[in-house]
Chain A
Amino acid sequence: MSLKPKRVNFNETWKELQETVKCVITLSNVPRSTWNDRFSDVYSLCVAYPEPLADRLYLETKQFLDNHVKNLLEKVRSNGKANLLKSYYQAWSEYSLGINYLHRLYLYLNQQHIKKQKLSEAEIVYGNLTPDTQEQMEIGELGFEIWKKNMIEPLKENLVNFLLEGIHEDRLGEGNPNTAEIIKGVIQSFVTVEEYKKKENLLLYQKIFETPFLQASGEYYKQEASRLLQVCDVSMYMERVTQRLKEETLRSQKFLHCSSFDKVKEKCEQHMIADHLQFLHGECKPMVQQERKGDLTYMYSLLRSVPQGIPLLINEMLEHIKQQGLQCVTSLKGENIYCQFVESMLTLHKKYKDMINDVFSGDQSFIGALDRACSSVINYRINPKVSSRSPEMLAKYCDFLLKKSAKGMSEAEIDDRLAQSITVFKYIDDKDVFQKFYSRMLAKRLIHQQSQSMDAEEAMINRLKEACGYEFTNKFQRMFNDITVSTDLNNKFSAYLKSETVDLGISFTIYVLQAGAWPLGQTSITPFAVPQELEKSVQMFEKFYHSHFNGRRLTWLHHLCQGELKLGYLKKPYQVTMQTFQMAILLLFEKTDSLNCKEIQDTLQLNTEQFNKHVTSLLESKLLHSSTQDVTPETILKLNLEYSNKRTKFRITAALQRETPQEVEQTLSAVDEDRKLYLQAAIVRIMKSRKMLKHNCLIQEVLSQSKGTFSPSISMIKKCIEALIDKQYIERTPNSADEYSYVA
């Protein structure tokens, strides 16, 4: 075949070409050779000499297709109205496929002749021009355009009515499985005929089908919802609605163009959920209170899909968790109230966290509600004027687990519980109170060697550090370090004794603590004449320490020291662990069996408070007898020579090491003092940078600065402001009573 332009007889060529076109468009058999010849004919016509015949070819083809589709329309109509969808679909299936082939047969015309005159994409999209209807189109597009004009336009109302009817039947479960393909195909034809367009290519689909369809769907679900509400209770209603939504989603996929999926869903949700929000919301409270998980799962997924649906449910959950928690904390009773408290809070937290994960797919807003509920339960004040005891109870709980007393639990179990207690810790507002109590209890555990394991102690400090930062645990860490380095210190001291060839006569160990890190009150300090038996140890150690640690001053805390005493004057030998002052008292009975209190106190130089406390403890242990009920200077103390005990090794320190109510009081008032200092510092800082501030603004700033450590009462802040006015750091401004200014 020659590609050279030549003279062509249009009529002859077209006649032959038209035959083939007819075959192609009706999907009849076209031999390969014929196809190739007609393909060349299209070329020859387009490049014909002396003038190209492309325009004529275009016009003839257009005319042909126009007639062809008009004939098809007649055929479709003649099959009767009842068969409209099916006939249309059959005609369309054949035509749309045929037009694709035809498009390929006219490749040369499409590519060379028509593309050249077309507007560029940019011109159409951005130039705001509509393509000229007179403009020539590629043959495929032309075919669809003609279909739209000659077939869809005249039939559209009937077609759409049948489509809506078909889908309606499908919703009622009466759909014919065979018509599903037809319905989808017909709907798809509305999309396909305009698919070639560069903009708004869904317009036809939307205008003739989607809009009436959405309208009809809305109506349907509106009625469906009221029908269901008449026959269902809320559980069933939600179940049905969920089912309906699921079905409708599948139905969309079955019939519609994907751009409609969300719109349909929105319609359903609007009429079945949003329109009945009041009803659904009204059911939330009992559902939450009875913790009907199945119902709540449905409720969550329904409410989540509509605006303003979920907040009420979140709130009901918050209230419910809070009520459950408050019931718990207000009914605690008995000895180990702190265990009950922490463990019931953990149970509460876990229960509702699990529920949120199961029922509300772990939704963060529900987790937030859980947090708020737990926080208000844990920080609840039974008496609004007295701060919550939770920080103290949590510290006690940790103490209980970390002490040797936590018997019957494996190390792993203890570790696990400690790890969980951090959950409660995070909710505590008054972290400073916890810090104070924890620090005192840690000090006692460490000094009195009551810690179950140093690893567990360290792990707990690290957990608190992780939760609240380095500064929070700074002192705990320092205390812990003091104890761990003491082994090394004692070894060095032993080596020193060896090198000096000194024998202390007793087994001696020591803890040397950094004064600043330990919460060791001054209240127990008393003068004390160290017994001769201990004197050498004290002197040697001081000598050693000063030679090793330049520039440090050592202070003995005898009230915290303890020792083991061997009693040889009884029927059996006993080994008793006791405190130094108790030891000192017993040691005085070496040469006599009775002494009066005044003598003892004068010899030991103890203050009366400490003296009485320790004498009382010895009397309670029955190691001593007294001549009077109360301990007075004249009371005569006697060794109990008949003393016996099942155990040969025991300790009598417990009563003295237990936390007394006074100590709790002291701890709390120490927290108060620290808070006042903290608040005053914060006020000075704020006023220094702001220079002048209204009362309320100042309060707000102070509150926001102290958040995370504790929540101060407004009256405490006011008192601190007053104190600073007295100290002349700030003053009231002359022009306004509720404004302060910084005094530089």
Chain B
Amino acid sequence: MATKKKPSSDQGSSSSALDSSRWEVSCFWERRLQKELMSLMKEPPPGVTVDAEGAGQNLTQWIIQMDGAQGTLYEGEQFQLQFKFSPKYPFDSPEVTFIGPNIPVHPHVYSNGHICLSILTEDWSPALSVQSVCLSIVSMLSSCKEKKRPPDNSFYVKTCNKNPKKTKWWYHDDSV
């Protein structure tokens, strides 16, 4: 298979007179998300696929398909991640939850899809991206040794806010 080169339409340099961005007047977060979407479509990490059409229509909400990695407890499973972005992105972290029929059974994933992962709240950095968040979640799943829900799952699910970012997480366990 021929190697895919970077398409001319998403070359970063605006020194090209034909930079595609000149045709679309958009603001900070839109331009950054467009760039991310492009690179995620062109060079997706293994097992990660973005629903480009949906994201292309509404940049503030993306659905990402994630395959359980081979050789892990989740091999053969498929999950769906939802990313919601605010206009403050990337200075504000995205809201990331598992959705759909299959929520991974994992000590840091609640049955309502909420994920206990510090980079999604207090450890967020604007240098992170959809791709790096996906990779962190893949590796969080991959390093799991026993499929079980968090110990406080039923209490949390009953009492939590719909938005996981409103939860004051207590990141007790860094090893998983």
Contacts and interface: CB of A to CB of B under 8 A. Distances in A.
A685 B41 CA distance: 13
Tell me what chain A mostly uses at the interface: helix, strand, loop, or mixed.
helix
B56 A688 contact: yes
Contacts of A655: none
B20 A681 contact: yes
Contacts of A674: 16-18
A674 B41 CA distance: 24
A685 B52 contact: no
A684 B9 contact: yes
Contacts of B1: 728
Interface residues of B, number: 19
B158 interface: no
Nearest to B1: A728
A515 B15 CA distance: 9
A685 B5 contact: no
A744 B8 CA distance: 16
A680 B8 contact: yes
Nearest to B18: A678
A466 to B, nearest CB: 18
Contacts of A681: 7-9, 18, 20
A173 interface: no
A680 B18 CA distance: 10
A207 to B, nearest CB: 65
B122 to A, nearest CB: 31
Contacts of B41: 744
A517 B41 CA distance: 31
A252 B53 CA distance: 68
B146 to A, nearest CB: 36
A471 B5 contact: no
Given A677-B18, A681-B8, A727 B2 contact: yes
Interface string A463-496: 0000000010001000000000000000000000
Nearest to A435: B17
A729 B7 contact: yes
A516 interface: yes
Nearest to A675: B18
Contacts of B13: 516
A729 B16 CA distance: 21
B52 A688 contact: yes
Nearest to B50: A744
A233 B52 CA distance: 72
Interface in A327-363: none
Contact of B2 (A516, A682, A728): A728
Nearest to B7: A684
Contacts of B53: 691
Interface in A645-700: 674, 677-678, 680-682, 684-685, 688-689, 691
A132 interface: no
A455 interface: no
A726 interface: yes
Interface string B17-46: 110101000000000000000000100000
B168 interface: no
A677 B4 contact: no
A682 B53 CA distance: 17
Nearest to A514: B15
Given A744-B41, A744-B52, A475 B4 contact: no
Nearest to A723: B8
Contacts of A516: 13-15
**Which of B1, B7, B13, B52 has its CB near the most chain A CB atoms (within 10 A)?**
B7
B34 to A, nearest CB: 11
Contacts of A471: 22
Contacts of A688: 52, 56
B32 to A, nearest CB: 18
Interface string A541-560: 00000000000000000000
B56 A685 contact: no
Nearest to B13: A516
A678 B15 CA distance: 13
Contacts of A680: 7-9
Interface string A631-653: 00000000000000000000000
Contacts of B16: 674, 677
A38 to B, nearest CB: 85
A284 to B, nearest CB: 44
A681 to B, nearest CB: 4
Nearest to A726: B2
A517 B13 CA distance: 12
B18 A727 contact: no
B168 to A, nearest CB: 39
B20 A685 contact: yes
A729 B53 CA distance: 16
Interface string B56-79: 100000000000000000000000
Contacts of B56: 688-689
B121 to A, nearest CB: 31
B129 to A, nearest CB: 19
A677 B8 contact: yes
Interface in A587-609: none
B4 A727 contact: yes
**Which of B14, B17, B22, B53 has its CB near the most chain A CB atoms (within 10 A)?**
B17
Contacts of B14: 516
Nearest to B14: A516
**Which of A432, A475, A682 has its CB near the most chain B CB atoms (within 10 A)?**
A682
A475 B19 CA distance: 13
B22 to A, nearest CB: 5
Contacts of A475: 17
A673 to B, nearest CB: 10
Contacts of A726: 2
A727 B17 contact: no
Nearest to B51: A744
Contacts of A678: 8, 18
The 7 A-B pairs at the shortest CB distance, nearest first, are namely A516-B15, A681-B9, A678-B18, A677-B8, A684-B9, A681-B8, A681-B20
18 contacts: A432-B17, A471-B22, A516-B14, A674-B17, A674-B18, A677-B8, A677-B16, A680-B8, A681-B8, A681-B20, A684-B7, A685-B20, A691-B53, A726-B2, A728-B1, A728-B4, A729-B7, A744-B52
Given A688-B52, A729-B7, 19 more contacts: A471-B22, A515-B15, A517-B15, A674-B16, A674-B18, A678-B8, A681-B18, A682-B9, A684-B9, A685-B9, A685-B20, A688-B56, A727-B4, A727-B5, A727-B7, A728-B2, A728-B4, A744-B41, A744-B52
Interface of B: 1-2, 4-5, 7-9, 13-18, 20, 22, 41, 52-53, 56
Interface of A: 432, 435, 471, 475, 515-517, 674, 677-678, 680-682, 684-685, 688-689, 691, 726-729, 744
